[in-house]
Amino acid sequence: MKTYLWTLDGGRLQYKSTYQDNQGVNWLFLPGGPGLGSEALTDLTALLKNKIPGVIWHFDLPNDGSNILKDKPLSNWQSALIQAISAFEKVILVAHSTPGMYVQTMPELEEILHGLVLIGTAPNSSWQKLFAKYCKNINDSTITLAEEQYAKNPNNQTLRELLIATAQYCFSTDESIERGKKLLESLPINNEANIWSSKHFDSKDYTADFIPKKIPTLIITGSKDHITPLQLFKNNKAYEQSHIIIKEIVGAGHYPWFENPHDTIQAFAEFSALL
């Protein structure tokens, strides 16, 4: 039986594990997607169990994934996130993919976070042009059909089928693509959250308002991530700061812990030691 905690604005926390003398450190894992629940991070947090000191929590935004609540819209995500962070001491926020872009629009996090980890995300909308160029080289009728079906009838099922069809965008080996498809088949899919997020964060106007000034920050991306390549951060001088670590996970895609769990664990372990 799962036990959850909710913030006033509908953010949902699920306790996962505790390791060693945590000294009050809490790791809040915010899943990618959007529209995917925090279950998408189960493999990652299982890998990190007993590897990083502190308490690990999964965090779902209101009305995202399976966290369906009446009168708690996803548009309240900022207050829900602040409420979750403020409930604990020494919070390290870990955000994957598009929600990693969410948190980069919140300068107020500078004052309340103990650390920040960004995985497979981007500091501005330039990722869209690079990803579109990559997609032009892929001619897959399964993807085309799934895109057409979703455009005609956007709902949870057609979004799931589209995500499964495009698994090769997120995973880089045959084995991980098959594992990724099984993961996507099992996850709660929330198309309403996906539509809301696309409207607000797939805009060409998106750019990071929050570049940490002093918070220890780890930015990791797979070397084969064609959605949000690491060069977006590496080529940006604003991130050339001593408290910001930018690390490439060799041979991995958009979910780097799938193809290179060893280096992903090592990156987290080294980062937690610095903290």
CA–CA distance, 273 with 96 (Å, rounded to integer): 21
Per-10-residue mean pLDDT, the chain, length 275: 87 93 87 89 96 95 93 94 96 97 97 97 94 88 94 96 95 94 94 92 88 97 95 95 96 96 97 90
Provide the CB-side half-sphere exposure for 60 (13 A, CA). 29
Domain that holds residue 61: 4-274
Q: What is the pLDDT of residue 1?
A: 54
Bridge partners, residue 95, by sequence: 30, 118
Q: Which pLDDT does position 139 carry in this prediction?
A: 83
Looking at residue 24, its pLDDT comes to 86
Which single residue is written with the structure tokens 């041979």? 251
Which tokens in the block code for residue 108?
């107020």
Number of domains into which the chain is organized: 1
Q: How far apart are CA 68 and CA 175, in angstroms?
A: 33
H-helix or E-strand spanning residue 259:
helix 256-259
CATH number at residue 153: 3.40.50.1820
DSSP 8-state class, residue 36 = B
pTM, whole model, 2 decimals? 0.96
